[in-house]
Amino acid sequence: MTGSSGWWPDDPAALARLQAGLAAQRPEPWTPPDRPLRVAAAFVAFARGQAGPGRPGDRAWVGAVLVEGGRLRRARVVPGVAGDAYAAGLLALREGPMLAEALAPLVPDTDVLLADATGRDHPRGAGLALHLGAALDVPSVGVTHRPLRALGTEPGAAPGDTSPVALDGAAVGAWVRTAGGVRPVVAHAAWRTDVDVAVAVVRCCAGGTRTPEPLRQARRVAREARSQAEGRDPGGRGR
């Protein structure tokens, strides 16, 4: 499976087949290096006023960043359009190609990718976090506010506390309390990463806020670009 057209089909049936194929693969597991991680992340900010699942052609700004040892090293923004409305299990139709385009220049310097999407917690075992990692040939971890299909109780209240989430009896991720006084996030095993590695990556990127620092920075640059394009300040007020 090579080439952008092969990685990003534009209809649900073809995407489902690709997801099933990716889930069946067992690539070599990735081991984090013994040094500060170089973590890439991307976030899609859609134009304001788009409610519900959206629709094909929705305007978007994709922020992509590279963070090393908690410090922002590179940032870029790519304008994009949604390929489809959102549907559970088919997020790649809506966001996949523009996320891959934004991240691709950062990949040569990246150890691991964080995506605002699931990995093995998916109807066919290959959510967008896993799909992106495979397409870009880089280990990946998903981070979401809640599981997609997996089940598991939330962890303790202390920063760093975890508890597993499982799908069909298999652990596919874990709740992670990234900071005190905030709800936990879910760290998803994805491309070349297992649950333990996903948890370790999210913990090291926590930065004292609920959203891991690379994703927080990607969200910030995407929203700032949207505000500039829409004639607003970053707080969302018109000027």
Count of beta carbons in the 10 Å neighbourhood of residue 24 = 10
Q: Exposed, middle or buried: residue 3 (CB in 10 Å: 0-12, 13-18, 19+)?
A: exposed
The yes-or-no verdict on residue 89 having pLDDT over 90 is yes
235 within a domain of the structure (yes/no): no
Q: Is the pLDDT of residue 5 over 70?
A: no
Where do the H-state alpha helices sit in the chain? 4-7, 12-24, 91-103, 128-136, 195-204, 213-229
pLDDT computed for residue 126 by the predictor: 98
In a domain, 169, yes or no: yes
Q: How far apart are CA 92 and CA 80, in angstroms?
A: 14
The whole-model pTM stands at 0.93
* Any domain includes 112: yes
Of the candidates 217, 219, 232, 239, the one whose C-alpha atom is nearest the C-alpha of residue 66 is 217
CATH code for position 111: 3.30.2170.10
Q: What is the extent of the structural domain holding 176?
A: 15-23+33-229
Give the confidence band of 49 by pLDDT, cuts at 50, 70, 90.
confident
Residue 61 resides in a domain: yes
Question: How many angstroms separate the CA atoms of 160 and 203, rounded?
Answer: 6
Is there a domain that residue 39 lies in?
yes
Residues of the chain above pLDDT 90, percent: 90
Query: Is residue 238 in some structural domain?
Result: no
Specify if 9 maps to a domain: no
Q: Is residue 6 part of a domain?
A: no
Total number of domains in the chain: 1
pLDDT in tens, 92-136: 999 999 999 999 999 999 999 999 999 999 999 999 999 999 999
Mean pLDDT over 37-46 rounds to 98
CA-nearest of 118, 176, 184 to 149 is 118
Q: What is the DSSP letter of 230?
A: T
Average of pLDDT values for 133-140? 98
Least confident of 31-35, 50-54, 89-93, 178-182: 50-54
- With cut-offs at 50, 70 and 90, classify the pLDDT of residue 233: low
Kindly report, residue by residue over 192-204, the tens digit of the pLDDT.
Answer: 999 999 999 999 9
Section 153-177 average pLDDT: 97
Does position 3 have pLDDT exceeding 70, yes or no?
A: no
Tell me what pLDDT residue 232 has.
73
